[in-house]
Chains A and B, each alone.
Chain A
Amino acid sequence: MDMKRDYYEDIELFKSGTVLVWTIIFLLFLFTLPLYLPSYNIYLVNIILVNVILAVGLNVLVGYTGQISLGHAGFFAVGAYGTSLIMMHLHFPFPAAIIIAALIAAFLGFIIGLPALSLEGPYLAIATLGFGLTIMHIIGRWEIFGGRMGITAPPLDLGIPNSSLSFVIKGDVQIYYLILIITVLLVIGARNLMKTRVGRAFMSIRDDDIAAEVMGVNLTIFKTMSFAVSAFYAGIAGGLYGFVVSFFDPFSFNLILSIIFLVMVVVGGLGSVLGAIMGAILITYLQYDLLKNVENLPYLGGLLVTISKKWFTVIGLANFAGIALGLIMIAIVIFEPLGMFGIWIRIKKYWKTWPF
């Protein structure tokens, strides 16, 4: 079924013609999406795409290298603040600014990767959690970052601002195309990275770090590199997020956000790019759309409002998203540890081997 005969087959991007055709159809659909989607939904799609970038990056760290991070909101914040501040104060064009910000995030990821060499499991979770909260507090207290009030993103200028080369992108639809191109590139990048020597080194660390070391994988280099790559993705995602929401403050980058990022990867399926994408889409949609207006749902909404009136408070119904996400997290660990990707594999297997 999945037999590979030579190395080239292992590293090629599309496994078969069918996959290629479907990918092209899907990309065409994405590129023409603004034609048939109401414009107010494009904002949601933008957020989803940003989260897809982040989830794919986090998956490199969590799914492929087997490390844990509860501090990705920190890298995300570095990307968002870095890009906006570099553009505001140094007047850099957007591509340069976002890459510099992402490199700063990657450097911080490298620094956090250093203690990770000797840490595992819960200790690593706590160390990264501490990092994320530290970033949040530093941003909240330093005047240059706008303090607690937050900052407004500058105009998104692809060229050099205030000159003849200026090329300003405005509106959700234009930003959508920019983010879509970056997302597609980064997703392909992550997929290809996993097929190189580096990607195989990551996976060997996940499967058994001692065995990997014995085989000649340099743990110091590859663990820190995994953190750096993941932080780079988070930085890019953060930089784009800043322009999508156009206004942000330190408290948007709290611990809950880090948890939600981790949930996207786990719900989608660890160690699979497709899984990370599915997880990001599902969780973002739930969080920003479905659960935000839970009282408008058919049947369930009315029931929840009744329950709220009787035992809880109607105004607190906004917290229902937390309850639902918590239950999803618990259910996925108990019933489907492989996540949505595991379900997908099972469906695929069922059809392929039908009627057996």
Chain B
Amino acid sequence: MFEMLLIEGLAIGACYGLFGVAVAIIYKTSDVVNFAQGEMGMMSTFVAYQIMTVYGWPFYIAFPATLIFAIVLGMAIEFCFLRPAKEPTVLGLLILTLGAEMLLMGLAGWKWGAEQKDFPFLLSVYDTIEIFPGLALNEWTIGVFVLTTVVMVLLFLFFRYSKLGIAMRATQQNENAAKIMGIKVERVFSITWGMSSLIGALAAMFFAARSVLDPNFMMEPFMRAFAAAVLGGLTSIPGVVIGGLILGIIENFFGYAWPEWKPIVAFVVIILIITIRPSGLFTKHYVKKV
């Protein structure tokens, strides 16, 4: 029983972590907390659903098509909404992304209605595979672990070695200096949003396979992923994933003991962590100077 709870907690935690990475990438580069992240993932998942169930195309066509859609969507939101805003305040940015969230949620509700749908995903939660003797995991869990590892390794390599990744880090450290060095900062933001939307869409499809698909389904996972991201420290990508794993385990064990209070664990954790250690467990605390 203990192992099962632990593994399940780790799996859902990895999913939170993956989605938290999507939030963290944008926050890292442009200091924007994207409240529309969940709805961007939701929209992409609905596109996958549309391609598979309405047009009847197989998963291996729908999957890449969805990922391309996710990238375009992320870039479009950055280009249409964030770029025209001239020097917005923190509150202004918050309102912008919340507006995008309402917009996407309204569009999805208009197109697909509010009723809950099953998302036909390649990996099932019910079929199990025995990896080691005595350890059977369901396909979904294995998929999450593999995907998270792959994304983490790719991101590490990307930020460490690719020219674009280095440009992104430079933009994060000092936007003006990056501009002077010849980095097209606006293009970097665009690519960041595309990347984040892509990772968010991947995670959202995994969430949809576990629960149901409706226009609100990403709201609570987004909150939890954000809790995970804050727990690990919003600016450290490995920290975010570790935060996700910790949150997943806490939530799963807590949910086993008191099932009816499971939904609020993440919020209590978020408030506690923010109060005690606002910059997260794995990043240095910075002090605002005058």
- The total of interchain contacts (Cβ-Cβ below 8 angstroms) comes to 152
Which chain B residue shows the least CB distance to A133? B267
Within 8 A of A (CB), among B83-132: 84-85, 88-96, 98-114
Which chain A residue shows the least CB distance to B96? A333
Q: Is A130 a contact of B99 with CB atoms below 8 Å? A: no
Q: Is B230 a contact of A123 with CB atoms below 8 Å? A: yes
Q: Is A125 a contact of B106 with CB atoms below 8 Å? A: no
Residues on B with beta carbons closer than 8 Å to the beta carbon of A266: 91, 95
Within 8 A of B (CB), among A74-126: 114-115, 118-123, 125-126
**Which of A134, A308, A332 has a CB less than 8 Å from the CB of B267?**
A134
Q: Is B223 a contact of A118 with CB atoms below 8 Å? A: no
Chain B: interface size category: 35 or more
Q: Determine if B205 is an interface residue (Cβ-Cβ < 8 Å).
A: no
Q: Determine if A33 is an interface residue (Cβ-Cβ < 8 Å).
A: no
Q: Determine if B240 is an interface residue (Cβ-Cβ < 8 Å).
A: no
Closest CB in chain B relative to A115 CB, distance in Å: 4
Q: Is A329 a contact of B98 with CB atoms below 8 Å? A: yes
Q: Contacts A68-B90, A210-B288, A333-B99 known; A127 to B271 CB distance under 8 Å?
A: yes
Q: Contacts A308-B110, A334-B84 known; A322 to B105 CB distance under 8 Å?
A: yes
Q: Contacts A133-B264, A326-B101 known; A119 to B274 CB distance under 8 Å?
A: yes
**Which of B33, B102, B263 has a CB less than 8 Å from the CB of A259?**
B102
Closest CB in chain B relative to A83 CB, distance in Å: 24
Q: Is B85 a contact of A334 with CB atoms below 8 Å? A: yes
**Which of B103, B223, B261 has a CB less than 8 Å from the CB of A330?**
B103
Residues on B with beta carbons closer than 8 Å to the beta carbon of A285: none
Q: Determine if B75 is an interface residue (Cβ-Cβ < 8 Å).
A: no
- What separation, in Å, do the CA atoms of A332 and B261 have in the docked complex? 39
Closest CB in chain A relative to B37 CB, distance in Å: 12
Q: Is B270 a contact of A127 with CB atoms below 8 Å? A: yes
Q: Is A320 a contact of B110 with CB atoms below 8 Å? A: yes
- What separation, in Å, do the CA atoms of A134 and B104 have in the docked complex? 25
Within 8 A of A (CB), among B252-290: 260-261, 263-264, 266-268, 270-271, 274-275, 278, 288, 290
Closest CB in chain A relative to B25 CB, distance in Å: 15
Q: Determine if B52 is an interface residue (Cβ-Cβ < 8 Å).
A: no
Q: Determine if B72 is an interface residue (Cβ-Cβ < 8 Å).
A: no
Residues on A with beta carbons closer than 8 Å to the beta carbon of B107: 319, 323
Residues on A with beta carbons closer than 8 Å to the beta carbon of B33: 121-122, 125-126
Q: Determine if B81 is an interface residue (Cβ-Cβ < 8 Å).
A: yes
15 A-B residue pairings within 8 Å (CB atoms): A130-B227, A130-B266, A130-B270, A134-B264, A259-B101, A262-B95, A308-B110, A316-B109, A316-B111, A319-B108, A320-B106, A322-B106, A322-B109, A326-B102, A330-B99
Sorted nearest first, the 10 A-B pairs with minimum C-beta distance are A322-B106, A329-B99, A326-B103, A319-B109, A326-B102, A323-B106, A122-B33, A130-B267, A121-B90, A115-B275
